[in-house]
Amino acid sequence: MLSLSEPMKNKSFFIFKKHSGVGIMYFLINILGIFIVMSVIYFCSPRKKSVKWRPILSLFIVELLVTWFMLGTKIGGWAINLIASFFSWLIACASDGIAFAFPSVMGNETVDFFFSALLPIIFVVTFFDILAYFGILTWMIDKIGWVISKVSRLPKLESFFSIQMMFLGNTEALAVIRGQLAVLKDNRLLTFGIMSMSSISGSILGSYLTMVPATYVFTAIPLNCLNALILASILNPVEVTKDEDIIYVPPKEEKKDFFSTISNSMMVGMNMVIVILAMVIGYVALTSCLNGILGLIVDGLTIQKIFSYIFSPFAFLLGLAPGDAMYVAQLMGMKLATNEFVAMMDLKTQLDAISPHTAAVATTFLTSFANFSTIGMIYGTYNSLFNGEKSAIIGRNVWKLLVSGIAVSLLSAGIVGLFVW
């Protein structure tokens, strides 16, 4: 397993001259694959004429620089490790609270998804609401969003959200800025739903690192967020006027006292946990049910196998040999139909047998929440935070969320693949 600080010079495409003609062919296919994915997304856009290509090109250049910085320098690994340490501390604080209520559960070597990934939402939401109460979060949204929006020429809130969801995950990130989202129009609300498909949660980051190389996990995180901005700009281009591109600050009369605020935050977090849990159980059960029905029609047929054949052309476009492409396509199918944990556990057993390039693109693709159950989680979050009318925007655009989630993972894997051979 690669460490965060391990330099990638010996695997960089900058020494690609050492590789054979076949290797160069796969490298060129990798480049072609990135353009094909972008073309497919553009074809899916219902408002092609409204797409602005300048910010997209700017973000793509930033992605290449970020990937080089992460995979080619020790400073890059150190910086991301420092940020991850803060969020690990945040989750550790949440775990202390959970351990007080469930000491026997948290004392186990392995902790269930409900306790490790869902219950920490209560504290994470409360922590960031405290920052919002004292104006710290609002200031961060305004300043960080301003920097990213200057580079991307995209709205401040969307730009900040792309940074925030690097470690908070989709549900926590949405809950943290729910005050901002509540005053947005439906078309912008959809943008946040689309972007939420490509995040991960800091609460389960440690679990990833026990299965797949840490270097590629931490490289995938910023790439996913930047690609989410890019694809949201193509699938759902919105016009935001200067007057609308502001950070909403609630009037003083709406501001409650401190203890009422944090108590309400905890209740909001708990409500989210219950709704999300119901959605996850339901979608995983539906997948199992569908596999059972398919097995009656054709012995051994599952939704995962179907997706593996569907994804095989895209896996090949990541610069993989045919055998590796079919294996990575199978991992893609596993992730989409179930979750990334199932796929990562399979990948863990094959890391010593596959090439660095295959390990890099497979790990990068798997490092996100993009699957069917995540759509349910996002819908459940919208439903718990807003009224039914606002959450309906997600129900009417499920296909956009699914296409975006898959495409973001493919683009991130393709970009990382350019640097690792």
pLDDT at position 247, please? 64
Least confident of 11-15, 40-44, 219-223: 11-15
pTM here is 0.75
pLDDT digits (tens, 9 = 90+) for 225-236: 889 888 888 888
pLDDT digits (tens, 9 = 90+) for 97-145: 988 988 888 777 777 778 877 788 788 878 878 887 887 876 776 677 6
Domain ranges, ordered by start, for the chain: 9-419
Q: Which residue carries 């997948």 as its tokens?
A: 287
Angle at 32 between CA 27 and CA 33, to 5 degrees: 95
Between CA 255 and CA 128 the distance in angstroms is 15
Sign of CA dihedral 82, 85, 87, 89: negative
Q: Where are the alpha helices (DSSP H) in 298-355?
A: 303-316, 322-337, 340-348
pLDDT at position 14, please? 44
pLDDT at position 250, please? 57
User: Alpha carbon of 249 to those of 138, 225, 230, 253, 327: distances in Å?
Assistant: 8, 25, 27, 11, 49
